[in-house]
Structure 1
Amino acid sequence: MSKPQFHIWPMSESDAAAVCEWRYPAPYEQFRWPSWRAMTRDGKEFGDAEIRRRQYVSVCDEHSALVGYAQFFPMEGVVRLGMGMRPDRCGRGSGAAFARAIALEAGSRYPGAQIDLEVETWNARAIRAYEKAGFKVADRYSRQAAHGEVEVYCMVFGG
Protein backbone atom coordinates (compact mmCIF):
# COMPACT_ATOMS: atom_id res chain seq x y z
CA MET A 1 0.00 0.00 0.00
CA SER A 2 1.43 3.39 -0.97
CA LYS A 3 1.82 6.27 1.45
CA PRO A 4 -0.96 8.84 1.46
CA GLN A 5 -0.29 11.92 -0.60
CA PHE A 6 -1.40 15.26 0.77
CA HIS A 7 -1.92 18.55 -1.00
CA ILE A 8 -1.87 21.83 0.87
CA TRP A 9 -3.57 25.01 -0.29
CA PRO A 10 -5.16 28.13 1.19
CA MET A 11 -8.16 27.36 3.39
CA SER A 12 -11.40 28.38 1.71
CA GLU A 13 -14.41 29.61 3.62
CA SER A 14 -16.29 26.40 2.74
CA ASP A 15 -13.42 24.25 4.07
CA ALA A 16 -13.34 26.33 7.27
CA ALA A 17 -17.09 25.85 7.74
CA ALA A 18 -16.70 22.10 7.14
CA VAL A 19 -13.99 21.84 9.83
CA CYS A 20 -16.43 23.38 12.32
CA GLU A 21 -18.81 20.46 11.70
CA TRP A 22 -16.25 17.79 12.62
CA ARG A 23 -17.04 15.89 15.82
CA TYR A 24 -14.44 13.70 17.47
CA PRO A 25 -15.17 10.72 19.73
CA ALA A 26 -14.09 10.70 23.39
CA PRO A 27 -11.53 11.54 24.60
CA TYR A 28 -10.80 13.82 21.62
CA GLU A 29 -14.14 15.71 21.62
CA GLN A 30 -12.48 18.69 23.32
CA PHE A 31 -10.65 19.45 20.07
CA ARG A 32 -13.77 20.38 18.12
CA TRP A 33 -14.26 23.95 16.95
CA PRO A 34 -17.30 26.10 17.76
CA SER A 35 -19.97 26.43 15.08
CA TRP A 36 -19.05 28.32 11.91
CA ARG A 37 -21.63 30.94 12.85
CA ALA A 38 -19.93 31.51 16.23
CA MET A 39 -16.45 31.50 14.66
CA THR A 40 -17.36 34.22 12.15
CA ARG A 41 -19.42 36.22 14.65
CA ASP A 42 -16.52 36.29 17.11
CA GLY A 43 -13.78 36.64 14.47
CA LYS A 44 -12.11 33.61 16.05
CA GLU A 45 -9.13 31.95 14.33
CA PHE A 46 -10.08 30.86 10.79
CA GLY A 47 -13.49 32.50 11.26
CA ASP A 48 -11.62 35.76 10.61
CA ALA A 49 -10.88 35.96 6.87
CA GLU A 50 -7.53 37.72 7.36
CA ILE A 51 -6.25 35.24 9.97
CA ARG A 52 -7.45 32.39 7.74
CA ARG A 53 -5.57 33.86 4.77
CA ARG A 54 -2.34 34.42 6.70
CA GLN A 55 -2.18 31.31 8.88
CA TYR A 56 -4.50 28.48 7.80
CA VAL A 57 -4.38 25.92 5.03
CA SER A 58 -6.56 23.03 3.93
CA VAL A 59 -4.97 19.61 3.63
CA CYS A 60 -6.50 17.45 0.94
CA ASP A 61 -5.94 13.91 -0.27
CA GLU A 62 -4.98 12.76 -3.78
CA HIS A 63 -8.65 13.15 -4.81
CA SER A 64 -8.81 16.76 -3.53
CA ALA A 65 -11.07 15.76 -0.63
CA LEU A 66 -10.59 17.77 2.55
CA VAL A 67 -8.88 15.54 5.13
CA GLY A 68 -7.49 18.13 7.52
CA TYR A 69 -6.19 21.60 8.15
CA ALA A 70 -3.08 23.24 9.49
CA GLN A 71 -2.13 26.52 11.08
CA PHE A 72 1.29 28.10 10.61
CA PHE A 73 1.73 30.52 13.50
CA PRO A 74 4.99 32.48 13.05
CA MET A 75 6.90 33.57 16.12
CA GLU A 76 10.46 34.88 16.54
CA GLY A 77 12.57 32.29 14.68
CA VAL A 78 9.89 29.62 15.14
CA VAL A 79 6.77 28.49 13.34
CA ARG A 80 4.30 26.83 15.70
CA LEU A 81 2.05 24.32 13.98
CA GLY A 82 -1.52 23.51 14.76
CA MET A 83 -3.27 20.74 12.86
CA GLY A 84 -6.36 18.63 12.80
CA MET A 85 -7.41 15.63 10.78
CA ARG A 86 -10.98 14.82 9.79
CA PRO A 87 -12.36 12.46 12.49
CA ASP A 88 -13.04 9.55 10.14
CA ARG A 89 -9.37 9.65 9.03
CA CYS A 90 -7.93 9.55 12.57
CA GLY A 91 -6.43 6.35 13.94
CA ARG A 92 -5.89 4.78 10.51
CA GLY A 93 -2.13 5.09 10.26
CA SER A 94 -1.75 8.20 8.09
CA GLY A 95 -1.12 10.69 10.92
CA ALA A 96 2.68 10.62 10.57
CA ALA A 97 2.57 11.32 6.83
CA PHE A 98 -0.02 14.04 7.43
CA ALA A 99 2.10 15.75 10.13
CA ARG A 100 5.29 15.40 8.07
CA ALA A 101 3.66 16.97 4.99
CA ILE A 102 2.55 19.93 7.11
CA ALA A 103 5.99 20.32 8.74
CA LEU A 104 7.74 20.21 5.35
CA GLU A 105 5.33 22.83 4.00
CA ALA A 106 6.07 25.04 7.02
CA GLY A 107 9.79 24.65 6.36
CA SER A 108 9.39 25.71 2.73
CA ARG A 109 7.31 28.75 3.73
CA TYR A 110 9.64 29.79 6.55
CA PRO A 111 13.20 28.75 5.61
CA GLY A 112 15.53 28.62 8.58
CA ALA A 113 12.76 28.77 11.19
CA GLN A 114 12.42 26.08 13.82
CA ILE A 115 9.19 24.11 13.34
CA ASP A 116 7.39 23.03 16.50
CA LEU A 117 4.02 22.10 17.90
CA GLU A 118 2.32 21.53 21.23
CA VAL A 119 0.54 18.30 22.09
CA GLU A 120 -1.24 17.39 25.31
CA THR A 121 0.81 14.83 27.22
CA TRP A 122 -2.09 12.31 27.47
CA ASN A 123 -2.54 12.15 23.68
CA ALA A 124 -0.36 9.09 22.99
CA ARG A 125 -1.84 8.53 19.52
CA ALA A 126 -0.83 12.01 18.33
CA ILE A 127 2.56 11.84 20.05
CA ARG A 128 3.38 8.55 18.25
CA ALA A 129 2.38 10.05 14.90
CA TYR A 130 4.46 13.17 15.50
CA GLU A 131 7.50 11.11 16.53
CA LYS A 132 7.17 8.98 13.37
CA ALA A 133 6.93 12.23 11.37
CA GLY A 134 10.28 13.46 12.75
CA PHE A 135 9.30 15.49 15.82
CA LYS A 136 11.06 15.10 19.18
CA VAL A 137 9.94 16.23 22.63
CA ALA A 138 11.91 19.34 23.62
CA ASP A 139 9.97 20.62 26.64
CA ARG A 140 7.01 19.96 28.94
CA TYR A 141 4.88 22.65 30.59
CA SER A 142 1.35 23.70 31.54
CA ARG A 143 -0.69 26.17 29.56
CA GLN A 144 -4.24 27.42 29.29
CA ALA A 145 -6.38 25.85 26.55
CA ALA A 146 -10.00 26.42 25.58
CA HIS A 147 -10.92 23.36 27.67
CA GLY A 148 -8.84 24.32 30.73
CA GLU A 149 -5.29 24.07 32.08
CA VAL A 150 -3.36 21.36 30.22
CA GLU A 151 0.06 19.71 30.34
CA VAL A 152 1.75 19.78 26.95
CA TYR A 153 4.90 18.66 25.27
CA CYS A 154 6.57 21.06 22.89
CA MET A 155 7.84 18.90 20.04
CA VAL A 156 10.41 20.15 17.51
CA PHE A 157 10.64 18.91 13.93
CA GLY A 158 14.02 17.50 12.97
CA GLY A 159 13.40 16.69 9.31
Structure 2
Amino acid sequence: MNTYDKPLFSINEMTREAAESISNWTYEYPYELYSMDGSEEIISALLKEGYYLVTFTEVPYFGYFCLGEEARVPGGYEAGIYLPNETHVIDLGLGIHPEWTGKGYGPAFMASILQWIRSNREVSDVRLVVAAFNERAIRLYKKAGFVRHDLFYTRVGAADIPFISMVRPASKI
Protein backbone atom coordinates (compact mmCIF):
# COMPACT_ATOMS: atom_id res chain seq x y z
CA MET A 1 0.00 0.00 0.00
CA ASN A 2 1.32 3.41 -0.97
CA THR A 3 1.81 5.81 1.97
CA TYR A 4 -0.57 8.29 0.32
CA ASP A 5 -3.34 5.71 -0.14
CA LYS A 6 -4.25 5.54 3.54
CA PRO A 7 -7.98 5.34 4.15
CA LEU A 8 -9.94 7.93 6.04
CA PHE A 9 -11.27 6.14 9.09
CA SER A 10 -14.50 7.06 10.81
CA ILE A 11 -15.22 6.34 14.47
CA ASN A 12 -18.78 5.85 15.72
CA GLU A 13 -20.67 4.29 18.58
CA MET A 14 -20.90 0.51 18.36
CA THR A 15 -24.16 -0.79 16.87
CA ARG A 16 -25.87 -4.13 17.46
CA GLU A 17 -25.36 -5.10 13.80
CA ALA A 18 -21.64 -4.29 14.00
CA ALA A 19 -21.28 -6.12 17.34
CA GLU A 20 -22.91 -9.23 15.85
CA SER A 21 -20.51 -9.15 12.89
CA ILE A 22 -17.40 -8.50 15.00
CA SER A 23 -18.38 -11.22 17.47
CA ASN A 24 -17.86 -13.78 14.69
CA TRP A 25 -14.35 -12.70 13.71
CA THR A 26 -11.90 -15.61 13.72
CA TYR A 27 -8.16 -15.32 13.28
CA GLU A 28 -5.68 -17.86 11.93
CA TYR A 29 -2.76 -19.28 13.91
CA PRO A 30 -0.98 -17.86 15.83
CA TYR A 31 -3.56 -15.10 16.39
CA GLU A 32 -6.51 -17.41 17.16
CA LEU A 33 -6.61 -16.33 20.81
CA TYR A 34 -8.15 -13.07 19.51
CA SER A 35 -11.02 -14.99 17.86
CA MET A 36 -14.55 -14.60 19.13
CA ASP A 37 -17.35 -17.15 19.22
CA GLY A 38 -20.41 -15.12 18.16
CA SER A 39 -22.10 -15.66 21.52
CA GLU A 40 -24.61 -13.27 23.05
CA GLU A 41 -22.08 -12.72 25.85
CA ILE A 42 -19.52 -11.36 23.34
CA ILE A 43 -22.16 -9.25 21.57
CA SER A 44 -23.28 -7.78 24.91
CA ALA A 45 -19.68 -6.98 25.84
CA LEU A 46 -19.14 -5.18 22.51
CA LEU A 47 -22.28 -3.11 23.14
CA LYS A 48 -21.11 -1.81 26.52
CA GLU A 49 -20.27 1.84 26.97
CA GLY A 50 -16.74 2.56 25.84
CA TYR A 51 -16.77 0.41 22.67
CA TYR A 52 -16.43 2.15 19.31
CA LEU A 53 -16.71 1.01 15.71
CA VAL A 54 -14.00 1.98 13.22
CA THR A 55 -15.06 2.07 9.56
CA PHE A 56 -13.93 3.39 6.23
CA THR A 57 -15.71 3.67 2.92
CA GLU A 58 -14.91 0.21 1.63
CA VAL A 59 -15.27 -1.66 4.91
CA PRO A 60 -18.16 -0.93 7.28
CA TYR A 61 -16.69 -3.08 10.08
CA PHE A 62 -12.96 -2.55 9.70
CA GLY A 63 -12.17 -2.60 13.40
CA TYR A 64 -13.14 -1.52 16.86
CA PHE A 65 -11.63 -0.20 20.04
CA CYS A 66 -12.65 0.11 23.64
CA LEU A 67 -11.53 2.34 26.47
CA GLY A 68 -11.43 1.95 30.22
CA GLU A 69 -11.99 -1.18 32.26
CA GLU A 70 -13.40 -3.04 29.25
CA ALA A 71 -9.92 -2.89 27.69
CA ARG A 72 -8.19 -4.56 30.62
CA VAL A 73 -6.80 -8.11 30.57
CA PRO A 74 -7.74 -10.12 33.70
CA GLY A 75 -4.19 -11.25 34.56
CA GLY A 76 -3.09 -7.63 34.69
CA TYR A 77 -4.93 -7.13 37.97
CA GLU A 78 -2.99 -9.91 39.68
CA ALA A 79 0.27 -8.60 38.20
CA GLY A 80 -0.38 -5.10 39.56
CA ILE A 81 -0.63 -3.50 36.12
CA TYR A 82 -3.95 -1.86 37.00
CA LEU A 83 -3.99 0.22 40.15
CA PRO A 84 -7.09 1.35 42.05
CA ASN A 85 -8.38 4.84 41.20
CA GLU A 86 -5.97 5.45 38.32
CA THR A 87 -6.80 8.75 36.66
CA HIS A 88 -3.63 9.41 34.66
CA VAL A 89 -4.06 6.55 32.19
CA ILE A 90 -6.67 5.40 29.69
CA ASP A 91 -6.72 1.68 28.90
CA LEU A 92 -7.13 0.86 25.21
CA GLY A 93 -8.20 -2.39 23.59
CA LEU A 94 -8.50 -2.75 19.83
CA GLY A 95 -9.01 -5.15 16.98
CA ILE A 96 -8.91 -5.15 13.19
CA HIS A 97 -11.05 -7.41 11.01
CA PRO A 98 -9.03 -10.58 10.27
CA GLU A 99 -9.11 -9.96 6.50
CA TRP A 100 -7.41 -6.57 6.94
CA THR A 101 -4.61 -7.49 9.37
CA GLY A 102 -1.04 -7.44 8.09
CA LYS A 103 -1.90 -5.31 5.03
CA GLY A 104 -0.40 -1.99 6.11
CA TYR A 105 -3.51 -0.34 7.56
CA GLY A 106 -2.37 -0.57 11.19
CA PRO A 107 -0.55 2.79 11.39
CA ALA A 108 -3.52 4.78 10.02
CA PHE A 109 -5.94 2.78 12.20
CA MET A 110 -3.88 3.48 15.33
CA ALA A 111 -3.37 7.15 14.40
CA SER A 112 -7.14 7.56 13.97
CA ILE A 113 -7.82 6.04 17.39
CA LEU A 114 -5.18 8.16 19.12
CA GLN A 115 -6.51 11.30 17.42
CA TRP A 116 -10.02 10.41 18.59
CA ILE A 117 -8.75 9.94 22.17
CA ARG A 118 -6.92 13.27 22.01
CA SER A 119 -10.10 15.02 20.81
CA ASN A 120 -12.63 13.28 23.06
CA ARG A 121 -10.90 12.45 26.34
CA GLU A 122 -8.85 14.35 28.83
CA VAL A 123 -5.26 13.83 27.70
CA SER A 124 -3.69 11.00 29.67
CA ASP A 125 -1.22 8.24 29.12
CA VAL A 126 -2.68 5.48 26.98
CA ARG A 127 -2.02 1.89 28.04
CA LEU A 128 -2.66 -1.29 26.10
CA VAL A 129 -1.87 -4.94 26.57
CA VAL A 130 -0.72 -7.28 23.80
CA ALA A 131 0.11 -10.98 23.65
CA ALA A 132 3.91 -11.27 23.85
CA PHE A 133 4.08 -13.40 20.68
CA ASN A 134 2.28 -10.72 18.60
CA GLU A 135 5.42 -9.10 17.24
CA ARG A 136 3.53 -7.49 14.35
CA ALA A 137 1.30 -5.54 16.78
CA ILE A 138 4.20 -4.74 19.12
CA ARG A 139 6.12 -3.17 16.19
CA LEU A 140 3.05 -1.08 15.33
CA TYR A 141 2.60 0.08 18.91
CA LYS A 142 6.28 1.01 19.25
CA LYS A 143 6.08 3.06 16.05
CA ALA A 144 2.99 4.80 17.49
CA GLY A 145 5.01 5.86 20.55
CA PHE A 146 4.11 3.11 23.02
CA VAL A 147 6.84 1.93 25.38
CA ARG A 148 7.06 -1.62 26.67
CA HIS A 149 6.43 -1.96 30.40
CA ASP A 150 5.46 -5.13 32.26
CA LEU A 151 5.33 -8.79 31.26
CA PHE A 152 2.63 -10.87 32.95
CA TYR A 153 0.61 -14.03 32.34
CA THR A 154 -3.11 -14.52 32.01
CA ARG A 155 -5.14 -17.66 31.47
CA VAL A 156 -6.58 -18.08 27.98
CA GLY A 157 -8.45 -21.36 27.67
CA ALA A 158 -6.21 -23.99 29.28
CA ALA A 159 -2.93 -22.09 28.90
CA ASP A 160 -1.18 -19.25 30.71
CA ILE A 161 -0.23 -16.79 27.96
CA PRO A 162 2.42 -14.06 28.38
CA PHE A 163 1.23 -10.51 27.76
CA ILE A 164 3.07 -7.19 27.68
CA SER A 165 1.70 -3.87 28.88
CA MET A 166 2.72 -0.86 26.79
CA VAL A 167 2.16 2.82 27.55
CA ARG A 168 2.14 5.88 25.36
CA PRO A 169 2.90 8.95 27.48
CA ALA A 170 0.45 11.86 27.31
CA SER A 171 3.28 14.02 25.98
CA LYS A 172 3.28 11.93 22.78
CA ILE A 173 -0.48 12.02 22.23
Matched, 1:7 2:10: yes
1:95 aligns with: 106
| Preserved CA contact (<8 Å) 1:15 1:58 | yes
Alpha-carbon distance between aligned partners in 2 of 1:35 and 1:131, rounded to the nearest angstrom:
31
Closer, same or farther in 2 for the Cα pair 1:110/1:31, shift >3 Å?
same
4+ residue runs of structure 1 moved beyond 4 angstroms? none
Give the superposed CA RMSD: 1.9
Matched, 1:69 2:64: yes
Deviation for aligned residue 1:38 = 4.1
Query: Tell me, what secondary structure is at the counterpart of 1:35?
Result: coil
Alignment of 1:1-159 (within 5 A): 1=2, 2=4, 3-39=6-42, 43=44, 45-46=45-46, 49=47, 51=48, 54-63=49-58, 65-73=60-68, 75-137=86-148, 139-147=149-157, 148-157=159-168, 158-159=172-173
Closer, same or farther in 2 for the Cα pair 1:134/1:97, shift >3 Å?
farther
Query: Tell me, what secondary structure is at the counterpart of 2:62?
Result: strand
Q: Percent identity?
A: 27
> Unpaired runs of 5+ in structure 1?
none
Alpha-carbon distance between aligned partners in 1 of 2:31 and 2:101, rounded to the nearest angstrom:
10
> Unpaired runs of 5+ in structure 2?
70-85
Deviation for aligned residue 1:91 = 0.4
Deviation for aligned residue 1:103 = 2.0
Deviation for aligned residue 1:132 = 2.1
Q: Paired residues, what number?
A: 150
Alpha-carbon distance between aligned partners in 2 of 1:128 and 1:84, rounded to the nearest angstrom:
15
Deviation for aligned residue 1:62 = 3.2
